[in-house]
Amino acid sequence: MLQLKKRFTKSNDLLAWTLLAALTLIWGSSYILIKKGLVAFSPGQVATMRLTFAFLVMLPVALKYLRRIPGRILFVMVLIGIIGNLIPYLLFAISQTVISSSVVGIINALTPIFTMIIAVFIFKYKIKLIQVAGMILGFAGIAGLSLVDESGIFGSINVYIWLVIAATLCYAVSLNLIKVYLSDIRSLIVTAVSLLSVGPFCMIYLFSTDFIHRFETVPGSGFSMLCIAILGIVGTAFALILYTKLIQITDALFATTVTYLLPIVSIIWGLLDGEVLYTVHFAGMILILAGVYLVNRNFYNKKLNT
């Protein structure tokens, strides 16, 4: 009988940093791919098409292991499929109809702060004063960004910013669930089964919309679909395997360190695509990243001293 559990070995720092670098490049590029997908398709279609591609790629693995997974573990995987994939992907697609891909990448850096908050209040993680200061800095940065319009001028609250914040909160919940309940399950299985829990529903929704009509009539729909296919296969299925593995061999906070570098990649893509960022955007990013650094600081010190 094949084993569901992964074989543990001594944590490999080189592997952890390699996974981190790969995820930074892959996920930092995801926002520009979403933007290109939205040229021809609606936010709901982009999100569900992304998950459909990922689901189909991982379907053989999911069917192979599904019957061997205990009910309690299966329930957690379903939650991850919904909270960690379906909801945030939809929120990101909706937000990018108004917000630039660069700014979305910046806001996603909040994920470690939400991860810490959940770990403290739900999983009883012990917090220190410096980490509280980090949270305050991070939220100050996001508060500033939420009051900036597309022309870089302070104005009314941008509600689409809060959709991205909600998506990062979903990510934080999901990775805490993985670390607490699924740390001994192979990352390939976690990814495949979590995608199986949402994939069929995404396909049903997708083909109930005007998806086919848009593909046949909207100029550039072929390129948009190609971008979404890359987003689904590489940026979702493959990346989730890497991310789950990273969470398992380190911890939830280290895994979210990808959000330090991710904004750099998303900004580069955005600038190459003609997006404009203003001083207030960079100021908000600096506050968020400074906050994330303080939240993760004790973990880094611990790693360096071991």
Q: Is the pLDDT of residue 101 over 70?
A: yes
Report the range out of 103-112, 119-128, 247-256 with the highest average pLDDT. Answer: 103-112
The whole-number pLDDT of residue 300 equals 41
Residue type, position 192, single letter = A
Residue 290 lies in a domain: no
Between 112 and 80, whose confidence is greater?
A: 80
Quick: pLDDT tens for 169-195: 998 889 888 878 888 888 889 989 999
The number of distinct structural domains making up the chain is 1
Query: For the residues 215-225, what does the mean pLDDT come to?
Result: 95
Mark residue 9 as left, alpha or beta (left: phi above 0; alpha: psi -120 to 50; beta: remaining): beta
Q: What is the pLDDT of residues 192-210, one digit of tens each?
A: 999 999 999 999 999 999 9
In whole angstroms, give the CA distance from residue 166 to residue 108: 10
So what's the pLDDT on residue 301?
44
Q: Which amino acid is at 204?
A: I
* Region 112-124 average pLDDT: 74
Q: Is residue 7 part of a domain?
A: no
Residue 96 falls inside a structural domain: yes
Confirm whether 145 is domain-assigned.
no
Task: Residue 91: give the domain boundaries.
Answer: 41-127+158-275
Under 8 Å between Cβ of 20 and 246? yes
Q: Does residue 216 lie within any of the structural domains?
A: yes
Rounded Cα–Cα distance for residues 251 and 72 (Å): 22
pLDDT tens sequence across 133-170: 877 887 777 777 666 655 556 655 667 888 988 998 99
Q: With a cut of 90, say whether residue 305 has pLDDT above it.
A: no
CB 231 within 8 A of CB 34: yes
> Residue 179: inside a domain, yes or no?
yes
Helix (H) and strand (E) counts for the chain? 17, 0
Residue 39 phi/psi, 5° resolution?
-60, -40
Distance between CA atoms of 57 and 153, rounded to whole angstroms?
44
Structure tokens that stand for 128 in this block = 């220190």
In this predicted model, what pLDDT tens digit does every residue of 238-265 receive, in sequence order?
Answer: 888 888 788 777 765 666 667 767 777 8
Tell me if 113 is assigned to some domain: yes
Instruction: Tell me how far apart the alpha carbons of residues 99 and 96 are, in angstroms, rounded to a whole number.
Output: 5
- How many Cβ atoms sit within 10 Å of the Cβ of residue 298? 15
Residue 239 lies in a domain: yes
What is the pTM for the complete model shown? 0.80
